[in-house]
């Protein structure tokens, strides 16, 4: 099996595991009217560590995976994750991208950007935008907290999965070392 395909499949499996965990967390958080979203985690490692085509394929497939379980038009989250991927990929050479802390910070920024993008697209559809805004703020706060908690584990899982399938990301010589 080609190296790139192994990378895509391994990262898609990781995305499926993460999505399943977040779905379960949301199931238990429903009585408190809170929901978690960690979309930034799906994009970060592919954007910072993988080649363009492989990474973009990972981001788009993860987006389609999320789209399939949501009532949004199929492909919308994939497009948003794809855009986020492109922005992060464009600036990645300026970041010390082997550091887990950097990966977590990038995931937090991507999460924030996706929240804002979705709010701009759909806030008018809510019957009470003020209550909706409050809920979005609360969701954003708990989502960022969950991203910080799950991020290091998830990036370790992705790295270990890539090693397991014999397709680790290329070594980067850090200019910050």
Partner 1 sequence: MRRFDQARPFLTLGLVLLAWMIVPTVIKRFARLSFYEFQAPLDVAASYGRELQGFWADRTRSNAELLSAARDLQRLNASYELRLQEDARLRAEITRLESLLRLPSYPEFRPEPARVVRRDFNVWWQRLVVRKGANHNIRVGSPVIYVGGLVGRVVEVHATTSVIELISSPGVRLAAVFEGDDRPVSFQGGINAPMRPPEAVIEFVPLDVFATPSAPRRLVTSGIGGVFPPGLHVGEVYQLEPSTDGLFKSGRARLDPRLGRISEVTILVPLDPAFHVPSATP
Give the interface with partner 1 as residue ranges (CB under 8 A): 16, 19-20, 23-24, 26-27, 30-35, 37, 52-53, 56, 60, 64-65, 67-75, 79, 82-83, 85-86, 89-90, 118, 122, 125-128, 131-132, 134-136, 138-139
As measured in angstroms, the least distance from the Cβ of 85 to partner 1 is 7
Compare residues 91 and 101 and give the one whose CB is closer to partner 1.
91
For the beta carbon of residue 61, count every other beta carbon within 10 angstroms: 20
Q: Cα separation of 146 and 67, whole Å? A: 21
Compare residues 16 and 101 and give the one whose CB is closer to partner 1.
16
How is residue 84 written in tokens?
Answer: 């986020």
As measured in angstroms, the least distance from the Cβ of 41 to partner 1 is 17
Closest CA to 99 of 56, 165, 156: 156
Residues contacting 69, CB < 8 A, separation 6+: 19, 23
As measured in angstroms, the least distance from the Cβ of 112 to partner 1 is 16
SS3 call for 161: helix
Compare residues 26 and 100 and give the one whose CB is closer to partner 1.
26
How is residue 101 written in tokens?
Answer: 């802390």
């Amino acid at each position: 099996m080609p190296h790139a395909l192994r990378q895509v499949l391994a990262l898609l499996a990781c995305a499926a595991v993460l999505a399943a965990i977040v779905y379960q967390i949301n199931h238990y958080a429903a009585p408190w009217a809170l929901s978690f979203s960690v979309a930034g985690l799906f994009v970060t490692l592919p954007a910072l560590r993988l080649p363009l085509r492989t990474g973009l394929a990972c981001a788009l497939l993860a987006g389609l995976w999320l789209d399939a379980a949501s009532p949004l038009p199929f492909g919308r989250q994939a497009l948003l994750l794809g855009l986020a991927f492109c922005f992060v990929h464009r600036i990645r050479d300026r970041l010390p991208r082997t550091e887990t802390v950097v990966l977590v910070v990038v995931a937090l920024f991507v999460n924030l950007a996706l929240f804002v993008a979705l709010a701009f697209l759909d806030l008018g559809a809510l019957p009470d935008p003020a209550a909706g805004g409050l809920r979005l703020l609360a969701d954003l706060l708990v989502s960022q907290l969950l991203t910080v908690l799950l991020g290091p584990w998830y990036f370790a899982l992705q790295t270990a999965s890539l090693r397991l399938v014999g397709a680790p990301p290329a070594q980067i010589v850090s200019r910050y070392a």
